[in-house]
């Protein structure tokens, strides 16, 4: 018998002073049995950092042909493709071919640097690709906030994202690895 997804509800109150975006989003997340608390919370952080009225969570791990998060225009064209993890070059090429802007949130402690060192030469040809690394300790702190029903506040200013609930306050600072096709040192 296959394991079923677990449903989580999240209310995100977003104050993004960098983009002058202020909104509340009510999200329902179906967490795949293989998805960790860390990865699910990173999905919420990535959503908050790119939040707009047309940004959507997708089927994620359940669909090979979709990113974790995307934004489409009214014609169905993909404006933003946001993936989590360390995808292979074939998936990144597909994303860059289908979307106007691609973001990858890589996580996994030291293996992120090994993955990026092995693939960065092939990635510089994609001018609308951005890759950031997220620290494992930060993800562990975010995972402590996981509940079936969450109310989270996101404050974004000067490239820093503070995530808080009633008992936790976590600073998330994704480390830029590739910005618009250029390797960041």
Per-residue model confidence as pLDDT tens digits over 7-65: 999 999 999 999 999 999 999 998 888 889 999 999 999 999 999 999 999 876 555 67
pTM for the model stands at: 0.93
Q: For 116-130, b where at least 16 C-beta lie within 10 A, e where not — what string?
A: beebeeebeebeebb
Domain limits of the chain? 6-183
Question: How does residue 2 score in pLDDT terms, banded at 50, 70 and 90?
Answer: low
CATH of 6-183, one of 3.30.70.260, 3.30.300.30, 3.10.640.10, 3.40.50.1390: 3.10.640.10
73 CB-contact burial (10 Å; exposed 0-12 / middle 13-18 / buried 19+):
exposed
């Amino acid at each position: 018998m296959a394991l079923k997804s677990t449903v989580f509800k999240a209310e995100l109150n977003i104050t993004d002073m960098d983009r002058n975006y202020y909104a509340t989003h009510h999200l329902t997340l179906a967490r795949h049995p293989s998805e960790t608390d860390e990865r699910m919370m990173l999905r919420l952080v990535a959503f908050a950092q790119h939040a707009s009225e047309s940004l959507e969570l997708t089927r994620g791990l359940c669909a090979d042909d979709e990113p974790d998060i995307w934004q489409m225009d009214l014609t169905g064209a993909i404006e933003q493709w946001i993936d989590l993890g360390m995808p292979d070059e074939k998936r990144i090429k597909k994303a860059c071919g289908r979307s106007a802007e691609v973001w990858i949130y890589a996580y996994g402690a030291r293996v992120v640097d090994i993955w990026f060192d092995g693939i960065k030469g092939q990635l510089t040809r994609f001018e609308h690709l951005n890759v950031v690394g997220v620290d494992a300790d930060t993800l562990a702190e975010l995972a402590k906030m996981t509940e079936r029903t969450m109310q989270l506040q996101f404050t974004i200013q000067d490239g820093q994202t503070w995530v808080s609930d009633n008992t936790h306050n976590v600073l998330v600072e994704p480390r830029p690895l590739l910005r618009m096709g250029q390797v960041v040192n």
